[in-house]
């Protein structure tokens, strides 16, 4: 938890075209569990998550991200954050308790890149199938890739300096890594952490209000390879076969859900403690930073946005 009371990334609400097709994909290929559904939404969680949901699928005529939600320690910290966000110049609204299943009240606001964010304190606690007393390492009956948790998300925007200043100065995040132009004048990538992970949220230079990918955490390199096998077996479009990131040092495979929202199975990465220095990459080495083995970007990586 950071100094401003934000515990972690708690949820993503994703817009999808065909709700039932998407549910089939996220349960049988990704391996999430459905916890509830209403007329236009389905709520899911990974097997190692204790809260009611981390992913919400919303039926829509466009793909992308509706909002990203961060869990806050308590209402006192939430009120302080609300005041700081207003002082920064963002417009806030309150999302009433019960607007979505199993959720309490939330504060909703738009960040400088045009994305919608929420802060909340309450979500129904449902636990995990292994229990919390003498638990086994994993439950029986896992499906698909079976990630432990929602790990991070990457967004695109134009003014990354202001976005980074908002998350570091207002919300108390730490910038773990950055990508700058060769002349040092422009910020073209920013990786931000509210925990001790390599990143909970990241931005790359691009159009405002666009969604790049959702990262799901798996144990290790073998699980990334296994994820790729599962994807190929299910004829899922793979964008980049298993490789390593230079940035974060994580291992990865990228692919797409039925609506074109990019997903990632992500493993490893370093621990970004509070005294961890910000690592800098220059734009001429961005290929190595993103795909350490091939040392160049694939064309779709910057263009396939939702």
- CA nearest neighbour of 22 among 5, 3, 42, 39: 42
Residue 101 and residue 54 in contact, taking contact as beta carbons nearer than 8 Å: no
Give the Cβ contact number of residue 28 at 10 Å: 14
Q: Distance between CA 306 and CA 292 in Å, rounded?
A: 25
| Predicted confidence (pLDDT) at residue 3 exceeds the cutoff of 80 | no
Whether the Cβ atoms of residue 271 and residue 262 lie closer than 8 Å to each other: no
Average pLDDT value for residue range 162-166: 98
Residue ranges of the chain assigned to CATH 3.10.180.10: 6-120, 150-303
Write down the pLDDT at residue 1.
Answer: 58
Q: What is the pLDDT of residues 202-247, one digit of tens each?
A: 999 999 999 999 999 999 999 999 999 999 999 999 999 999 999 9
Q: What is the pLDDT of residues 176-204, one digit of tens each?
A: 999 999 999 999 999 999 999 999 999 99
Class of domain 6-120 as given by CATH: alpha beta
Task: Please report, in angstroms and rounded to a whole number, the separation of the first and last CA atoms in the chain.
Answer: 30
Task: Identify the CATH class of 150-303.
Answer: alpha beta
- In sequence order, what are the beta bridge partners of 43? 36, 56
Its pTM surpasses 0.85: yes
> In sequence order, what are the residues at sequence separation of 6 or more whose Cβ sits closer than 8 angstroms to the Cβ of residue 141?
none
Position 80 scores a pLDDT of: 96
- Position 4 scores a pLDDT of 84
Give 66-123 pLDDT, tens digit per residue: 999 999 999 999 999 999 999 999 999 999 999 999 999 999 999 999 999 999 999 9
**Average pLDDT of the chain?**
97
Element (H, E) at 67: strand 64-72
**Distance between CA atoms of 154 and 235, rounded to whole angstroms?**
24
Residue identified by tokens 């569990």 is 33
Sheet containing 92-95, strands listed edge to edge, beginning at the edge strand earlier in sequence: 33-37, 41-45, 55-59, 6-16, 64-72, 116-120, 106-110, 92-95
- Give dist(CA 182, CA 286) in Å, integer: 11
Query: Is 99:122 a contact under the CB 8 Å cutoff?
Result: no
**Residues taking part in catalysis:** 152, 199, 213, 245, 254, 264
């Amino acid at each position: 938890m950071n100094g401003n009371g934000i515990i972690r990334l708690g949820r993503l609400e994703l817009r999808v075209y065909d709700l039932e097709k998407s549910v089939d994909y996220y349960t049988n290929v990704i391996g999430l569990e459905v916890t509830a559904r209403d007329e236009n939404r389905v709520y899911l969680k990974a097997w190692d998550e204790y809260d009611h949901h981390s992913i919400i699928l919303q039926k829509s005529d466009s793909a992308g991200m509706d909002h990203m939600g961060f869990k806050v320690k308590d209402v006192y910290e939430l009120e302080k954050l609300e005041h700081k966000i207003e002082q920064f110049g963002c417009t806030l609204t309150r999302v009433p308790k019960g607007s979505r299943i199993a959720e309490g009240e939330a504060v909703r606001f738009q960040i400088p890149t045009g994305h919608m964010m929420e802060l909340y304190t309450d979500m129904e606690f449902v636990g995990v199938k292994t229990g919390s007393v003498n638990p086994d390492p994993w439950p029986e009956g896992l499906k698909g890739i079976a990630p432990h948790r929602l790990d991070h998300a990457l967004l695109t925007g134009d003014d990354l300096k202001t976005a980074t200043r908002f998350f570091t100065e207002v919300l108390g995040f730490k910038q773990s890594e950055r990508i700058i132009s060769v002349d040092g004048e422009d910020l073209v990538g920013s990786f931000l952490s509210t925990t001790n992970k390599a990143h909970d949220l990241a931005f790359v230079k691009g159009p405002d209000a666009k969604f790049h990918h959702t990262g799901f955490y798996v144990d290790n390199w073998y699980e990334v390879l296994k994820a790729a096998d599962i994807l190929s077996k299910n004829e899922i479009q793979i964008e980049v076969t298993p490789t390593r990131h230079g940035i974060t040092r994580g291992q990865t495979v990228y692919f797409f859900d039925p609506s074109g929202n990019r997903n990632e199975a992500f493993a490893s990465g370093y621990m970004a403690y509070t005294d961890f220095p910000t690592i800098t990459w220059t734009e001429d080495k961005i290929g190595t930073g993103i795909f350490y083995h091939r040392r160049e970007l694939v064309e779709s990586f910057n263009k396939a946005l939702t």
